[in-house]
Structure 1
Amino acid sequence: MPGLISTYGPGDRVMLPRGVYRPQGDTLLLREALERERVGNGTTVLDVGTGSGFLALAAARRGAWVTAVDRTRRSVLATRLNAALAGLRVEAVRGDLLAPAVGRRFDLILSNPPYVPAPDAGPPPRGPARAWDAGHDGRLIIDRLCDGAAGLLRPGGALLLVHSALCGVPATLERLERAGLPAEVTDRRTVPFGPVLASRRRWLLDRGLIAPGADTEELVIIRAERVG
């Protein structure tokens, strides 16, 4: 699988075959949140929508037993390759969101899901946009994560989720609360529009998702914990 090698810091090197989501500001923000969690030998971690495996590898370096899930074959292969190159144990499996992990329990679930509001109501059937487009409100995947995560967490286990404020932070907090996962925003970071949002500025403005002249979005980390 030929591809670029990107370096993000000491030990943070990943192979990025064509079509695999490149770790960006949202990924790095989620890694910062991961670094604050109690992750060590024997911690069980589920990385949902793993892409290149960047976050899965970060958890595995701390001794966690990591399962990484992605719906694209290319991402699963990239994660396996990057784990092998790093000498780390990561179980990378292909499947739809949480489905491959049903029946198991984890101490920590990580996810950087598709969350970009898109003109198309449904998910892209193919192509790189599958890594970011998530319906008109950006919540096609987020809502499913909120509804299903509690069933995969051990008591005291946590979900760390990153998404744009354009998707509606209160909606995520409320949905997690209804699912039995009290949640809070732990991190906020404002970043410039990337190429995708910049190309949709008029559409976002027409839908009332951004203000005139806006050229930045706020990324948030939401942490939810199963208390019982």
Structure 2
Amino acid sequence: MRSDTPAAAPQLLPDLVEALRGDLSRARYTVERTEQLLGEVAVAALHREDPLPARRALAGASDPAAILFSLFTLGAELPAARVAEVLPTLGTGGAQQLGILAPAAGRAAAGGAPSLLHATIDLSPYSAQDDHGHIDWWIASDRSELATGAALRPDHVLGVGGASLTLARITPRARVGRVLDLGCGSGIQALHATRHATHVIATDLSERALAFTAFNAALNRAQVEVRQGSLLDPVAGETFDLIVSNPPFVITPRTPGDDTDRFTYRDGGRAGDSLLAELLEALPAHLAPGGTAVMLGNWERSGSQEWDQHPRRWLARAQAEGLDCWVIQRESEDPAQYAGTWARDGGITPRDPQWPCLIDGWLDDFESRDVRDIGFGYVLMRRPLPAAPTDAVAAGGSGPTPGAPAPAPAGGPAGTMRIEQATGTGSGSLGGHLAAGLRMMQRLRAMDDAQLARTRPRRAADLIERRHLVPGAWDPSLIELVQGAGLARTIPADQVLAATVGALDGTLTLGQTIGAVCALTGDDPDQVEKRLMPQLRELLLTGMLEL
């Protein structure tokens, strides 16, 4: 059953927020410390959304971090005196003013003071590593089912989940001016952006989500501007160097007159996957030259369509306007799997009486469009930098005004559209890898094969060659080029391609290297170069070769 308890949002009272920060720091309330206290078994159980081992591990613990984790994440009701010990600066009164603690129902001591307190929000430590170093933060959000034992409310504000972590990993971290976190939720993407941006704007349809984002920014001493509104409405006419978004893309069945509660954080209220189509059509106008958009999404495949038909159609206009577009499908689910995934996400299981009706509604909706499966993955766009600086910049002018509308297309060349399925993940920074791929699209588009042959590529340090041989044979039956970083791709190669790649150390030009290999194999260099160029361009785009 869904909880009827009114949803709370923390109050932005700067002095009290700073007092809370000091108490959390003194308590060593970090991911590292809480995992030490919990132990491997309890940590693994929490990842499975089972709180019992964690509650057992922390039962009776006196460590301040253990008490805070029990209170704010595990949903414990604790004596007011014990809570006061771990929040000595803020105090229990200050915590109640902030709206993060409340008296447990019916648990008042003599004189009316609460004998037991419970948290009204989740307040968890967060740890990460990005291109700018180590991060230790605290993230406030709504309490999870793990703490409440109840299904989520429609206006639930998520903490840091798997999708949030994925989006943070694939986002480029180069220093930029203006960043937009579209559909910010509790604000984790906006917080990450403050480490490498001059100005960060976070938008959301939910006023409660923006309250959590503002609170988290203050708690972690970050500067974030929050604006309320649907999709891109709050930033009409503005452009950004980076747009990052985990939009409410979940495909949820709706019928005329249906006023069923939707989860604001995930359901866009559109038919099928049309919300993503609408967003991708509008995004290009908000990208400054050199600007990048990075987002998560899903798309339907109906009937005999190829899986990429919808994203190709959505991005066709952006490509025609000169933007480089990249879609990566990471996985797919059939309609029944998809319905079950998101029903469970909302706290409904097959044991609940509403399960059959809920799943039937989803399956009927997918059947009405002949949907065979739903893909999940990443969508990236980049507006290329101008080929040459403007006269104003060349003469020492200031160039475009930050945040001004993007220039209208001038009839230039179309951008590159790259569509791929990639399920692996290698080492290193995935955000940096994807950003390098987008930049390489522009570089390669500007070079014909003759120009490319005059460059001096190098094979990437993480690239290895794998050979498969029938036992006792001298010649391999299969050669593969294997990427250790990025998306851990594997590309088949013949002897000539493998030899060419193996010799690319930046000393000779690409044309010279192909000529040297052909001198050994007896092949015609011109024919080999013509045959290898598409493959070598692919290796450059994937980062297996570097320029």
Q: TM-score range by the shorter chain?
A: 0.7 to 0.9
SS in 2 for 1:9: strand
Residue number among 258, 268, 272 corresponding to 1:137 in the alignment: 272
SS, match of residue 129 in structure 1: coil
The 3 A distance-change label for structure 1 pair 119 and 187 is closer
Contact 1:66–1:91 (CA under 8 A) maintained in structure 2 = yes
Judging changes above 3 Å, is the alpha-carbon distance between structure 1 residues 131 and 64 closer, same or farther for their aligned structure 2 residues?
Answer: same
Select the residue among 162, 175, 193 that pairs with 1:59.
193
Residue by residue over 1:124-171, the C-alpha shift from the partner in whole angstroms, topping out at 9 and shown as x without a partner, is 97956122223331323x122112111111112111110124487532
Q: In the alignment, which residue of structure 1 is the partner of 2:377?
A: 220
Unaligned runs of 5+ in 1: 212-216
| Distance verdict in 2 for CA 1:148–1:118, change over 3 Å | same
Paired with 2:160 and 2:332, the residues of 1 have a C-alpha distance of: 17
Deviation at 1:202, TM superposition (A): 4.0
DSSP 3-state at the match of 1:13? strand
Structure 1 CA distance for aligned equivalents of residues 190 and 278 of structure 2: 21
2:330 to 145, 170, 188: 188
The higher relative CO (CA closer than 8 Å, separation ≥ 6) is in 1
State how far apart, in whole Å, the 2-side matches of 1:13 and 1:218 are. Answer: 32
TM-align CA RMSD: 3.0
For structure 2, the 5+ residue unaligned runs are 1-9, 11-99, 101-120, 129-135, 144-155, 302-306, 350-354, 387-547
Distance in 2 of aligned mates of 1:125 and 1:226: 39
Hey, what does 1:44 align to over in structure 2? Answer: 178
CA contact under 8 A between 1:121 and 1:136: conserved in structure 2?
no
Secondary structure of 1:61's counterpart equals coil
Query: Match of 1:184, as an amino acid?
Result: W
* Alignment of 1:118 onto 2:252: yes
Distance 2:127 2:221 in 1: 17
Give the SS at the match of 1:163. strand
Q: CA deviation at 1:78?
A: 0.8
Structure that is richer in helix per residue: 2
Q: What CA distance in whole angstroms lies between the structure 1 residues aligned with 2:216 and 2:260?
A: 23
Indicate whether 1:16 and 2:141 are aligned: yes
**SS at 1:43's partner residue?**
strand
Equivalent position to 1:174, from 313, 320, 335: 313
Is the counterpart of residue 97 in structure 1 residue 215 in structure 2?
A: no
Cα deviation digits, residues 37-77 of structure 1 (max 9, x gap): 1432x431101100100111011123442110011110111
TM-score, normalization by structure 2: 0.36
2:291 match: 157
CA distance in structure 1 between the partners assigned to 2:167 and 2:329 by the alignment: 9
Rg larger in structure: 2
Cα distance in 2 between the residues matched to 1:170 and 1:14: 38
Shift of 1:185: 2.1
Aligned length: 219
AA at the equivalent of 2:378? I
Is 1:29 the counterpart of 2:166? The answer is yes
Residue 224 of structure 1 aligns to a residue whose secondary structure is: strand
| Paired AA for residue 146 in structure 1 | L
Shift of 1:177: 2.7
Alpha carbons of structure 1 residues 78 and 158: separation in structure 2 relative to 1, 3 Å: same
For residues 308 and 361 of structure 2, the distance between their equivalents in structure 1, rounded to whole angstroms, comes to 20
Letter of the structure 1 residue corresponding to residue 313 of structure 2: E
Structure with bigger strand share is 1
1:214 aligns with none
SS in 2 for 1:75: helix
CA–CA distance in structure 1, aligned partners of residues 286 and 225 of structure 2: 16
Amino acid at match of 1:220: G
Question: What residue in structure 1 maps to residue 124 of structure 2?
Answer: 6
Measured in 2, the distance between the counterparts of 1:204 and 1:127 equals 15
Task: Tell whether the 8 Å contact from 2:242 to 2:293 is kept in structure 1 after alignment.
Answer: yes
SS in 2 for 1:50: coil
Contact 1:70 1:76 in 2 (8 A): yes
Distance 1:98 1:121, change over 3 A: farther
- In the aligned structure 2, how far is the partner of 1:56 from the partner of 1:7? 17
Shift of 1:186: 4.1
Whole-angstrom distance in 1 between the partners of 2:138 and 2:377: 25
